[in-house]
A = this chain, B = another copy of it.
Amino acid sequence: MNVSHASVHPVEDLPTTDGGLGIGGGNNNNNEFVSAVMGLCIMATTSDFPSVTAFCYLVAATGLQSVWSISQAIIDIYALLVRRSLQNYHVVCLFAIGDGITSTLTFAAACASAGITVLIDNDLNSCAHNHCLQFETATAMAFISWFTTLPSFLLNFWSLASR
């Protein structure tokens, strides 16, 4: 998880999963990034997504989530390469705020898209004229992306409070 991101003061040993970046943070970033990019690509491949504001917002939010996740991954890799810890207060604060904002935006976009896909599929039964499968898959991917970012935010926030 990202609680343990850090990149300011040099450390003696290579960072581990307990004290630094480690496998947990990396895998979590990968999951965030992969699900956000998949959601973005699936939605963007449908021809009619620009006609619905909520779907455009989903594309924008998952795009932002992807950029944030890849930025975190780059910082992780840099910290590993230069053998520095990311346990600094300001870095953890930055990660907590970033995770909080991106996860909230992604969750909002996923909920808005879910509302519309349920309207099209269940309430109006007009899936024959729409790309329901793509809309639903992109929405599910956005939810997965939010779900993988949420623990990172909560643990970073907990880490800040417990200092």
Contact = CB atoms under 8 A, between A and B. Distances in A.
A84 B140 CA distance: 46
Nearest to A155: B161
A53 B123 contact: yes
A57 to B, nearest CB: 8
A109 B115 CA distance: 8
A122 B53 contact: yes
Given A107-B107, A111-B108, A119 B118 contact: no
Given A123-B53, A158-B157, A115 B118 contact: no
A162 B158 CA distance: 8
A144 to B, nearest CB: 15
Contacts of A109: 111
Contact of A118 (B54, B107, B157, B162): B54
Contacts of A162: 161-162
Interface of A: 51-54, 107-109, 111-116, 118-119, 122-123, 154, 157-162
Task: Identify the 10 closest CB pairs spanning chains A and B, nearest first.
Answer: A112-B115, A161-B161, A111-B111, A54-B115, A115-B115, A158-B161, A108-B111, A161-B162, A53-B118, A111-B112
